[in-house]
A and B are shown apart, each in its own frame.
Chain A
Amino acid sequence: MTSLPLAVSRRRRRGVRHTLDMRVSPYAYVAPFFLLFCAFGLFPLIYTAWVSLHEWTLLSDEHAFVGLDNFSTLLADGYFWNATFNTLSIGVLSTVPQLLLAIWLGHLLNRRLRLQTLFRISLLLPNVTSVVAVVVIFSQLFGRDFGMINWVLSWFGAGSIDWAAGTATSHIALSTMIMWRWTGYNALIFLAAMQAVPRELYEAATIDGASNFTQLRKITIPMIRPTIIFVVIVSTIGAMQIIAEPLLFGASTGGAGGGAASGGPDRQFQTLALFVYEQGFTKFDFGYASAASWLMFLVVVVVAGINYLLSRRVKGGLT
């Protein structure tokens, strides 16, 4: 008899603990991600705006408020516009052919196929190769005197091209590296989407005598449009932030004059992200670099927005 009230209160306590468990634990389980993102993703992004309004260098402890001075200096800085041009140029050169090729490869893989796994693995090999390895390997392949690419081109009568030296040639070399690393990855993402397209559509089209290419244009592309939009946006955001490739390309083709962060002696392949890196981590002008970061953010948003609108217009319809 005496144990009864005790048992009741224990049960009630267990009840409270149970409600608490049901109510609180879900938030506790998703909290690590949100805390970490706020601390190391969101906060730095916002703090960039604060730093950009100051004269902020590594050497001085005091950070004078200068308003929008950094931004107006930046808009008059020829190197900044040069970097913007290079970013857009490399972005277009690497992304457009890459995505077209990726859709086509996805389409080729989207059939019953022998050696299927082997093809898929080989497509993804470049993507698991580190960016440092990619640039080291391709710098050798693109070498002026003993590079294999110049050797192959010489069969067609080309002279020895100094790939790193010119604006156009260095952009082509860098775009090749980016394409090599990402085409297969995007092809697999397209393939994943294509596998969800009903087979009967293709069978019907084949009976109607539609060619392979017509099927790609009239069935596949309209059906995987959401994935295309997604990949276009992600690739654009990635392309606008390219930094490791030009940094390493500059370093491994002999950073003669200006160091690797300048993107070649004439800044012929300095991207926006590399410009930010140069200002921030070789000149330690954090205020100026942060202002450049914000303008770069603007470029990312504008270009991604334009591409979103463009890729939404991709159609063909099932008419």
Chain B
Amino acid sequence: MRLRYLTLTAVAFFSAFPLYYSVVVASRHNSALAEVPPPLLPGGNFFANVSRVFDTVPFGLALLNSLIVAGSISLAVMFFSTLAGFAFAKLRFRGKNIMLLITVATMMVPTQLGIIPLYLLMVKLEWTGTNYALIVPALVNAFGVFFMTQYLTRALPTELLEAGRVDGCTTWGLFWHVVVPVARPAAAVLGMLTFMSAWNDYFWPLVVLNPDNPTVQVALSTLASGYVNDYVLGLAGTAVGTLPLVLVFALLGKQIIGGIMQGAVKG
């Protein structure tokens, strides 16, 4: 029993420590890194380092871009997933089961292997360097559809839909007046999950965007890949660009974890 708490505490420590230590380094001067033993408490240099971040890369623009991209992707994913989830969970149509199966199966497709033609496609559409290249391909995904299908199958009473039909509601009317209110809590969790993964997305933005119009992650990687290893600068950027999200997660974690664990049981 005691061993269990000890182990879990140790794991919690190793999970949190690198994040804490990054703040320590971000709030110091580069010379502090050479100290033995390494500093373990935050210093007073944080804001000076952060302002250096804004001088080195277009970080304000990066924050704005990431906000626009992650925000619009989350809204779209919430909307389209609820819509498709409603159809899969409660509407009757031919080919439904096989379509749902295909949806789940697409989660296994290693789409990253199509990255070269995807890039060529973006060149053709003249979307390279713009936020369209990030937003449009991500408007809806299999995970979201599956997640909402599972939730609505469970949470949406069929009688409620039938009552709506009797009152003369069209399917679209049912969606707005019956489904959306019921779907709200799950859609909120899905929105948060989507926002986090869109905010943290790195590789595709790196490929299609230019360094002068970056997202937060692309800007951070520019900071980190200087010829001089300015760790303090990189970690100060990291602290501003990613830690707020980690904090939000720590506060809302209970709901988000519930969502991940519900969406996870596929076997």
Contact = CB atoms under 8 A, between A and B. Distances in A.
A25 B109 CA distance: 28
B117 A48 contact: yes
A48 B113 contact: yes
B84 interface: yes
Secondary structure call for the A interface: helix
A231 to B, nearest CB: 9
B260 A185 contact: yes
B221 A248 contact: yes
Contact of A128 (B38, B99, B200): B200
Contact of A300 (B22, B36, B110, B120): B110
B180 to A, nearest CB: 13
Given A29-B83, A47-B117, A251 B257 contact: no
Contact of A125 (B15, B37, B225, B241): B15
Given A26-B96, A188-B261, A290 B140 contact: no
Given A25-B171, A137-B22, A117 B12 contact: no
A129 B246 contact: yes
B8 A140 contact: no
A193 to B, nearest CB: 6
A307 B147 CA distance: 26
Contacts of A81: none
Contact of B83 (A18, A32, A45): A32
Interface in A8-24: 18, 21-23
Contacts of B225: 248, 251-252, 255, 260
A161 interface: no
Contact of A254 (B136, B229, B245): B229
A244 B203 contact: yes
Given A21-B170, A151-B36, A188-B261, A128 B246 contact: yes
A291 to B, nearest CB: 10
A136 B249 contact: no
A30 B88 CA distance: 8
Interface in B142-174: 142, 145, 170-172
Contacts of A156: none
Contacts of A184: 11, 15
Interface stretch (A35-43, A70-78, A87-95, A165-173): A35-43
B111 A41 contact: yes
27 contacts: A25-B87, A26-B171, A33-B80, A37-B106, A44-B116, A45-B109, A123-B15, A125-B250, A126-B15, A126-B18, A130-B242, A132-B224, A132-B242, A133-B22, A133-B242, A136-B220, A137-B22, A143-B33, A188-B261, A188-B264, A193-B265, A229-B267, A233-B108, A244-B202, A247-B203, A248-B221, A289-B116
Interface of B: 4-5, 7-8, 11-12, 14-16, 18-19, 21-22, 25, 33-34, 36-38, 80, 83-84, 86-88, 91-93, 96, 99, 103, 106, 108-121, 136-137, 139-142, 145, 170-172, 175, 196, 199-200, 202-203, 207, 217, 220-221, 224-225, 227, 229, 231, 234-235, 238, 241-242, 245-246, 249-250, 253-254, 256-257, 260-262, 264-267
Interface of A: 18, 21-23, 25-27, 29-30, 32-34, 36-37, 39-48, 51, 105, 108-109, 111, 113-114, 117-126, 128-141, 143, 145-146, 148, 151, 180, 184-185, 188-189, 191-193, 196, 224-227, 229-230, 233-234, 237, 240-241, 243-244, 247-248, 251-255, 260, 273, 276-277, 280-281, 286, 289-290, 293-294, 296-297, 300
Chain A to chain B: the 9 pairs with minimum beta-carbon distance, closest first: A226-B267, A44-B114, A251-B225, A130-B200, A122-B12, A192-B261, A121-B253, A40-B137, A26-B93
